[in-house]
Amino acid sequence: MADKPPEERVAAINAPAGASERLVYVMPEHLMRDSSDDEIDLRELWGIIWAGKWRIIAVTVLFATASVAYALLATEWYRAEALLAPAEEKSAPSLGGQLGGLAALAGLSIGGGDSVDAIATLKSRELAKEFISDNQLLPILFRERWDASNSRWIGDDPDTYPDERDAVRFFHQHILQVSEDRKSGLTTVAIEWHDPDLAAAWATQLVEMVNDKLRERALAQAEANVAYLQLELAKTSVVTLQHAIGRLLETELQKVMLARGNNEFAFRVIDAAQSPKYRASPKRSLIAIVGTLVGGLLGLLWVFVANAFRSH
């Protein structure tokens, strides 16, 4: 008996006479101590939370109230979108292939409109500046700095007054969004503003301005090309060159007619901008939920930190 391990000796002592010995496993003391410590830690943790429950509730209610107030008082923004497709190419591609070399030598372009140019124009500072100037948007974009009753900027230092550069930066950062789907080739123009009707009107006007600007540019270029080709045609006496210039001239005249008769020169409107019924932001329910959760977590943190300082 004395030579047996402790577990077997315990089994042998407790076993009745004549019974076979059984192996009994006794849990090590350090494992029993760890399990007991875990139970104590959980009870202690819950005790800390329960003792500081009013602090947690107070902070949670404070943040919930503040988030709801912000959500209700924040400026509403509405989003109007227009879906656009590149305007269809209407010039003769075979003519461009045959006379491309001659046109390049003459400094002419016989290709149609380029959607890359159209999108770049839509995103350009020049277009935004022209749009802001035409609609006199400076006092509207910076209304908090504009004294409407006296029709002047607030303050005495003209250097602090917003100018067109500030307006263009604000317009691109907060109002205009242009996104392109490279797979479908479609472009979305979005305007976000406080007035839903103005948002839709501005989106529509911007698309019209891009079409007008690129049409006028193409028309001026085509008319200049026509004048140049007519001059060169009058100079040359080589029949083959006269035929080539004549075909180029025909192409440029066709471009002039297409530009004059096509309002959707760069972009074709697939889905026109509509005045939105619902606001895009603020998302009030989300703000309230996040604010309440943040308040609860900060309340817990406050209670634990305060308890740690008291313990030390």
CA distance 131 to 111: 28
Tens of pLDDT, residues 190-228: 999 999 999 999 999 999 999 999 999 989 888 888 888
For residue 172, is pLDDT > 60? yes
- Distance from C-alpha of 98 to C-alpha of 115, rounded to nearest angstrom: 23
> What b/e sequence results for 88-119 when a residue is b if at least 16 CB atoms lie within 10 Å of its CB, and e otherwise?
eeeeeeebeeebeeebeebebbbebbebeebb
Residues 42, 114 within the same domain: no
Q: What is the pLDDT of residue 89?
A: 57
CATH number at residue 231: 3.30.1890
Q: 31 versus 269: which is more confidently predicted?
A: 269
Residue 252 is predicted with a pLDDT of 86
> Is residue 277 domain-shared with residue 289, that is, in the same domain?
no
Number of folded domains that form the chain: 2
Question: What average pLDDT score do residues 161-179 get?
Answer: 96
- What pLDDT does 131 receive? 97
The Cβ-side half-sphere exposure at 284, using a 13 Å CA radius, reads: 13
Task: Check: pTM over 0.85? Answer yes or no.
Answer: no
Res. 299 pLDDT band, cuts 50 70 90: very high
String of b and e for 185-219 (b: at least 16 CB within 10 Å)? eebbbbbbbeebebbbbbbbebbebbbebbbebbb
Cα 112 to the center of its chain, rounded Å: 31
Q: Which 3 state secondary structure label does DSSP give 118?
A: helix
266 within domain boundaries? yes
Instruction: State percent of the chain over pLDDT 90.
Output: 49
Of 287, 299, 290, 236, the C-alpha closest to 76 is 287
- Is residue 224 assigned to a domain? yes
Answer yes or no: is 132 within a domain. Answer: yes
Taking alpha carbons only, the member of 114, 71, 126, 143 closest to residue 267 is 114
Comparing CA positions, the residue from 101, 75, 66 lying closest to residue 287 is 66
Least confident of 133-142, 184-193, 236-245, 296-305: 236-245
> Are 144 and 181 within one domain?
yes
Query: Is residue 140 located within the same domain as residue 247?
Result: yes
Whether residues 115 and 232 share a domain: the answer is yes
Q: Phi/psi class of residue 111: alpha, beta or left (left: φ > 0; alpha: ψ in -120 to 50)?
A: beta
Q: What is the reported pLDDT for 168?
A: 97
Answer whether residue 81 shows pLDDT above 90. Answer: yes
Q: What is the pLDDT, as a whole number, of residue 99? A: 45
Do 162 and 189 share a structural domain?
A: yes
Beta-carbon contacts of residue 285 (< 8 Å; ≥ 6 apart)? none
User: 212 in a domain, yes or no?
Assistant: yes
Does one domain contain both 136 and 84? yes
Residue 4 has pLDDT above 90, yes or no: no
Same domain, 127 and 181: yes
Between the ranges 17-31, 51-65, 100-114, 249-263, where is the mean pLDDT highest?
51-65
More confident residue, 191 or 230: 191
Same domain, 63 and 200: no
Same domain, 176 and 65: no
Joined together, the tokens standing for residue 161 give: 């007054």
pLDDT at 232: 84
Report pLDDT digits (tens) over 116-150: 889 999 999 999 999 999 999 999 999 999 999 99
How far apart are alpha carbons 210 and 127 in whole angstroms? 8
17-54 pLDDT tens trace: 555 555 555 555 655 555 555 555 788 888 888 988 99
Q: Are 267 and 207 in contact (CB under 8 A)?
A: yes
Greater confidence (165 vs 34) lies with 165
- Give the residue numbers spanning the domain of 270: 78-281
Same domain? 180 vs 134: yes
Provide the mean pLDDT of the chain: 83
Residues 244 and 204 in one domain: yes
3-state secondary structure at position 267: strand
What would the pLDDT profile of 82-103 be if each residue is shown by its tens digit? 999 998 655 444 444 444 444 4
Q: Which residue has the higher pLDDT, 15 or 252?
A: 252
